[in-house]
Each structure stands twice: as structure tokens, then as C-alpha cells.
Amino acid sequence: MVAFSERMVNKAIEICKESETASELMGNFGSSARECAGAVKTIVKEIEEDSKDINQSEEAVLNSNKPYVDNRLNSYSGFVDLIEYFRKGFRSCLIVPVGTEKYSFGVLTLLSDKEEFFSKDHIQGISTAARIVGREMGFRKEKERGANTEKYFEAVFDGDFPQVIIDGNGKVVKANRKAMNSIGFLSKNPESMELGDFFSDTTSLEDILKSGEPLEVRDPETSKAYRISSKQVDGNLTCISVYDITELRDFEDKSGLLQSSNDEAFMLLDEKMRIAWIGGNSSMLRTDPINLIGRKIGSLTDGNILDAIENAFGKNGSGKYSDYVKFLMGNGIESKMNLEIGRRKYGFYAVVSRSPGKYIETLEKDIDQIMELSTEFIIVVDEDGMVRKANKSAQRLLKYGNGELQGIPLSRLFPNNENMERMSSAFELARERGSLTDVYVAMADKIGGVVKFTQSVKTLTDIEGRFNGYMIIGKELNTKMLMEEMRSRLEEVGKHAEKMKQESDLKTQFIFNISHELKTPITNINGYARLLLGGSFGELNAEQKDSVNTIITEDDRLELLIQQILQVAKLEAGKIKLDWQNVDLGTIRDNASIKSLEEMVKAKGLGYDFAIDYNVPKIEADPNRLVQVFVNLIVNAYKFTEKGSITIKAFRKGKNVKVEIRDTGIGISPEDRTKLFRRFYQLQKRGLTKQEGSGTGLGLSIVKEIVSLHGGKVGVDKETAVGKGSVFYFTLPITRKSKKEKKQAG
């Protein structure tokens, strides 16, 4: 019989021949190792692809470059992920690095559901095979890396600008024809050169590679200017791209005197009308110039002017475009300016300018648009005190329609002479100082109400500096005062709520303490009663035994009530912490407590069904608390159902799992449905021929608290009605919600 090690090595050699790529080789190795060893599960990870997903045990194996075996997985295993494997039912684990003595390309994990599964032969055989596969992985990755480099060469070397590939020593590995033509080395063999040979000032390779920004150099012999940028291709190979920016720099030098211009902005455009450079007064365009680089000139204007520009230059590219066009300034603001476009050697130039008359016209439009966009009260009055303009906020606050304020005297907007005189004094001071702030004044709205403002007054002048009116900007105070009043009330409500919370906390603590103290005497009563019933203090007659049985029954009910009160108090006080686990609802259905309830329901002559849809996943929850929720709801349905059936169904609903408990019992009235989840509330058992005994009235409130702790909701479906049965439901998130999500959901 062939030894395991030999079989594993032969298999490794076989899959190395059959696998086409490194990733395929890794996957095939994992499958083969699992089949040969007879393991239950394999986990294969490539370092480059899954480095973010490497767990603790895999990282330890990769760091040591040695296999790791644990043939007795348990809750105290050395790594967190091994404990997780144990919880999933695995009992043995073997983790092997896949690579050479120096480099690891991946890691293989084999899992078995049997203890002491992996032998020394397994470890030796799989480790040897992993070395064989690792060496082949190295060859494959180098080959794939070389192919990627070749693809890069093919993609970039057809470009319209010079590019060279250099190694770590600055030696030129490859140069495209554009590089040799433009830099003048067509007759030389570029592969024998170094990067510094391309430039007369011997540009430093180290500067190019270390700089985060492109470098600019000028050749002193030819006076040509270049922008040089670098991009690492693979390993120690770097692609150097060279752009001739001679024309651009010359134009910048020549236009340097124009940078201080207040009336023109200058642009260089490429052949596709994209902006390459901006100079002059670029602030005219109301945008940071860096945000305009690369955009088409047509995108700055209202309407498509590119067709008009093409027509102006004609097919041969000669000609000139000049027109007065509307520029878009953002936020709905527009400005009309003159645009002139001319031809240059490698593209176009553009000049944007405006005449003083047009500038004033544009500025007024801009001011109008700013006024309309403002949420503050703005009114412009002329030198005679007549309202010239009023924005929408002013119209809304004073309850006037669109345009109704324009042309009326400002004096009409004051409720009395006192406020009108205060405004007149503010105007006089503003004339002296240019502006005035924090003027408190009340104004009258159209329907007779009074609106209070703090206002600022600014004097207005024409282009020659002559006074021609005021601009009033106001902040309305009524809303502010109302908000302050509401804030004060909210503070009072908050203090009252805090006081109520403290009282509620004290009440909860009292209930918790008294319930806890009652447990001891109740336990003693139950114990002594059972001793009496058993004859420890003498034989009892039949009547005495009935009485003692009654004591025990009532004592059991009292103990249940106290346990539930304690549980409610703990839930309310936040003293119950959930044991979060990945829970399969199938295990809940098969729980012993649920199964005993199923038998009890069937013994009553009722039908019973607990169905879980095929697509219901595992959920993050406390399994013991979930059992408690199911038990309380099933017992509730059992008490109020005499014939028919009880059906439990679980199905997925978005990011949640929804569970419905449906019965054919007496149903619930709309009035009772609003009170069901209150503590100590008990539904009346009208219509039941057989009373099942009274409860504590706490079961449903406990259900609500537990479901809420899980981030879910509980309720009664609208189908529920008197005589038609009941449908209770609750939802649970599939994945535990964060505190932020819980707050948003609440």
C-alpha cells in the first residue's frame, strides 16, 4: 500500500502540471489535500488576495513558516479562530504554509470532526507537498507578473508622449519611439543608456522616484522644458513619462505681466477645447482655477457654444471666435462676459473680459440672485425711502405677495412712530459711518401683526460714488424667542423626566429587593409542605393531604410570580446581559422545552406545526432567551385555544427574521390589543369552556423586553379579532445592530 506522504507528493506534482494559473493551482492543492487526508473541510487563502482576511492561527503559521496542528480543539484552544472551529463542530485542525523556505504564497487549513485525526504522516506529506506547490506558485507568479508588465508596456508605449522603463539602477530597459524622436536619440541604442543621459542637467533619478509630485526640468542646450512623472510598474521597474511643456511655460512667461489684470482672465486650451492653464484675473470665474483644469470651455457657459466655435474656425482650423456669452458661476448665479478664442500651435487660447457697463449689469443680477437665495430679511430702499427691492424672506415674514412690497413707502411697514423714528436715526448714523449693526426694531406685517427684528443698515452708492439708498438686512426674533421658550420648557420636561426615572429606578430596585427577600420563606414553605405531605411529621388523612397539596400548588404559583417579577426588574434595570451566539432556529424548534410544549398541545387535541423557511439564515442572538420567548408565546396560545391548531412559522423579511405564532382560539378585542404587553395585564378568558388557570400577567411583557434587547419588535397582527384567533409576531435582526443603528431605529 502506497504511504500517504508518497501519494500526497505524487498528487502535488500532478496538479502542478494540470493547473494553468497560480490561483487555480492553490485551489486544486486544497481539494487534493482534503481528499487524500479524508478531512471534512479545507480553507485555502492566497496571501496577496486575502491578506486582510488572515486570522490569528494562519498569521502565526505564516510568520514561523512551519505547520501547526491541534488534534483536540476545545473552548480553550490557543487561537480565537480555533475556538470558533470547535463551536462549529470540528475537533482537529492542521494549518500548513504554502511556499518556499523564504516566501509564503498562501496558507492551507484542513479540518476534521474527529479528535486525534492528523497523524505525523499527514503533517509530513502535506507539508512536503505544500513546498512543491509553493515553488511552482513562485514560478507561476513571476510568469504572471512578467505578463502583466508586458501588458503594461503594450498599453502605454503606444502613447503620444515620451516614455522610458528603467530599472532600480537607472538603466533604461525600454524606450518608446516618441521618447527617442523628441529627445533626439533615434540613432542611439536606448538600452545602453541611463536616465541621466537624456537630459543635459543630469536629472537625479532619486529625486524623480522620491518626489510625490511631478518634477519640471529645462534642458539648457535646447531651452526645452519637460515635466517628468514616475509610476512603478513591477518590482524594481519604473515607468518615466516625459511631457514637453516648453510652449506652456513660454506662454506663462510672456503673460506674466497680465496676471495682475482686473478685467481679463486668460486660458490655454488643448485641441479638444479642454482648459490646460488659467492666468490673469481668474477670480472673475468665481471658481478655484484648479477645479477648472481639464474641463471643456463649453461646460462653463449657458448653452452649447462648441458648434459656434467650430464654425468660426472652419475645417482648416484658422479663424477666430468672439461673442458675449453667459457664464455659469454655480449656485444658480450667472454672469455675462465677452469670450474670445484664437488658435495657437498646439491648441487654442481664450480671453474672458467684461466692460464696466456690462460688469455693473452682471453685478446687479448677482446681487438680486444672492438676495433671493438668502434666508434673511433683505429690503433695498432708495434715497426717498421707497422700497426698491425685497427678497422672498422679507415678503414671507411680512406676509406680502410676490412684488407687493416694491414701490411702497418704508414708513408703512412700522407699527408706530417710535419704531419709525428709531429706523430714521439708524439711517442717519449709517450715512455717517457707511453701515450700522444691531438695530432693534419692530415692523408691521400686512394683516396687522408685529414682527420683531435685529437689523443691519448699509448705505448704497452708484458707480461714481454718489449715495442712492440703503440695504436693510434683518434677523427675525419672534421665532428665536419662541425657540428659547420651547428650550426652557424642554429643560423643565427633561428635569421632570429625570426625576420620574429616578423614582422608577427606586421602585424597580425595591421590587427587586423585596422579591429577592421573599424567595427564602417561600422556598421554606414549599419544603416543609412537601415534608408534611410525605409523612415526615406523621401520617395525614385525605382531607389534610388535599389541603397541603393546595399549599404546595399556591406556593409554586407564588414562586413563579416572584421569579417573573425578578426577571422583569432585571430586564428593566439592564442587569441581564445577552449571551450572543450564531443561532440556528432549527435548534430552537428541537429544544427540549419546545418539544414538551408540542406534546402538551397535541395531548389537548390541537394541531401543531413549527415551520422554518428554507432561506432563514443563522441569526446573532441569545439562544436561551429565544427559547423563553417561544415558550411564553406558545403557552399563551395554548391557554386561549380549545380547538383547532397552533402554528409557528419563521421566514426572512429583509435584514430580519420574522416569527408568527398563529392560533384558532378566542381571539383578542382591539381594546385588549393595546394593553397586552403591559405588566400584570391579563386577558379575560371569555368564551372558554375549560379554564387553564390564571397566569401572572408578566409573560408577554418579558417577551417584549427580551425581543427589544435583541433589537427587534413584537406585536399582534391586525388579523387578530374576537372569535377569529390570534396572530402574535416578533422580528429579530439577522446581524446584531450597532448602538448607532439601535438609536436610529428607536
Instruction: From residue 501, give the alpha-carbon distance in Å to each of 324, 495, 505.
Output: 70, 10, 6
Look at residue 24 and tell me whether its pLDDT is greater than 90: no
Asked if residues 101 and 65 have their Cβ atoms less than 8 Å apart, the reply is yes
Query: pLDDT tens-digit profile of 191-208?
Result: 556 666 655 444 455 666
Q: Are residues 190 and 96 in the same domain?
A: no
Amino acid in position 375: T
Crossing angle of helices 592-603/623-639, nearest 10°? 10
Look at residue 367 and tell me whether its pLDDT is greater than 60: no
Q: What percent of the chain has pLDDT over 90?
A: 12
**172 within domain boundaries:** yes
Look at residue 111 and tell me whether its pLDDT is greater than 90: yes
**151 within domain boundaries:** no
Mean local confidence (pLDDT), 181-199: 54
Look at residue 38 and tell me whether its pLDDT is greater than 70: yes
**175 within domain boundaries:** yes
**8 within domain boundaries:** yes
Mean local confidence (pLDDT), 27-31: 88
**138 within domain boundaries:** yes
CATH of the domain at 287: 3.30.450.20
| CA 396 distance to own-chain centroid | 39
How many independent structural domains does the chain possess? Answer: 6
Q: Where are the beta strands (DSSP E) in 639-712?
A: 645-653, 656-663
Q: Compute the residue count for the chain.
A: 746
DSSP 327: E
Considering 456, 476, 496, which residue would you say is the last residue of a domain?
Answer: 476
Asked if residues 233 and 262 have their Cβ atoms less than 8 Å apart, the reply is no
Look at residue 642 and tell me whether its pLDDT is greater than 80: yes
Look at residue 649 and tell me whether its pLDDT is greater than 90: yes
Residue in this structure with the C-alpha cell 486575502, named with its chain if needed: 50
Asked if residues 32 and 15 have their Cβ atoms less than 8 Å apart, the reply is yes
Instruction: From residue 95, give the alpha-carbon distance in Å to each of 56, 71, 114.
Output: 11, 11, 16
Among the listed ranges 341-345, 355-359, 396-400, which one has the minimum average pLDDT value? Answer: 355-359
User: Residue 602: its pLDDT value, please?
Assistant: 93
Phi and psi at residue 347, to the nearest 5° = 150, -135
Q: Which residues contact 651 (CB under 8 A, 6 or more apart)?
A: 612, 613, 615, 616, 657, 658
What residues pair up with 336 in beta bridges, in sequence order? 326
**Helix (H) or strand (E) segment spanning residue 442:** strand 435-444
- As given in the structure block, the three cell numbers for residue 592 are 427540549
User: Residue 543: its pLDDT value, please?
Assistant: 82
Give the residue, 308 or 223, on which the prediction is more confident.
308
Q: Are residues 23 and 72 in the same domain?
A: yes
Query: pLDDT tens-digit profile of 115-166?
Result: 999 998 888 888 888 888 888 888 777 776 666 655 655 555 555 567 777 7
Q: Are residues 254 and 240 in the same domain?
A: no
Look at residue 90 and tell me whether its pLDDT is greater than 90: yes
Phi and psi at residue 386, to the nearest 5° = -95, 140
Confidence of residue 390 (pLDDT cuts 50, 70, 90): confident
Query: pLDDT tens-digit profile of 508-520?
Result: 666 656 655 666 7
Asked if residues 466 and 377 have their Cβ atoms less than 8 Å apart, the reply is no
Asked if residues 628 and 607 have their Cβ atoms less than 8 Å apart, the reply is no
The CA angle 68-69-74, to the nearest 5 degrees, is 120
- Provide the b/e sequence for 110-145 (b: ≥16 CB within 10 Å): bbbeeeebbeeebbbbbbbbbbbbbbbbbebbeeee
Between the ranges 340-354, 441-455, 641-655, where is the mean pLDDT highest? 641-655
User: Residue 296: its pLDDT value, please?
Assistant: 84
User: Residue 298: its pLDDT value, please?
Assistant: 80
Domain interval for residue 431: 374-476
Considering 146, 172, 201, which residue would you say is the last residue of a domain?
Answer: 146
Phi and psi at residue 81, to the nearest 5° = -65, -30
**367 within domain boundaries:** no
CATH of the domain at 506: 1.10.287
Dist. CA 83–CA 91, nearest whole Å: 10
170 closest CA partner among 145, 206, 199: 206
Dist. CA 256–CA 280, nearest whole Å: 8
Averaged pLDDT of the chain = 77
Dist. CA 8–CA 679, nearest whole Å: 66
pTM: 0.34
Dist. CA 85–CA 99, nearest whole Å: 25
Residue in this structure with the C-alpha cell 506522504, named with its chain if needed: 5
Query: pLDDT tens-digit profile of 572-587?
Result: 656 677 889 999 999 9
User: Residue 360: its pLDDT value, please?
Assistant: 47
Q: What percent of the chain has pLDDT over 70?
A: 71
CATH of the domain at 618: 3.30.565.10
| CA 150 distance to own-chain centroid | 39
Mean local confidence (pLDDT), 510-534: 70
Dist. CA 145–CA 152, nearest whole Å: 11
User: Residue 442: its pLDDT value, please?
Assistant: 87
Among the listed ranges 493-497, 687-691, 717-721, which one has the minimum average pLDDT value? Answer: 687-691
**152 within domain boundaries:** no
Q: Which residues contact 536 (CB under 8 A, 6 or more apart)?
A: none
Q: How many CB atoms lie within 10 A of CB 236?
A: 10
Confidence of residue 229 (pLDDT cuts 50, 70, 90): confident
Between the ranges 124-138, 299-313, 315-329, 531-545, where is the mean pLDDT highest? 124-138
Q: Which residues contact 534 (CB under 8 A, 6 or more apart)?
A: none
Q: Are residues 304 and 427 in the same domain?
A: no
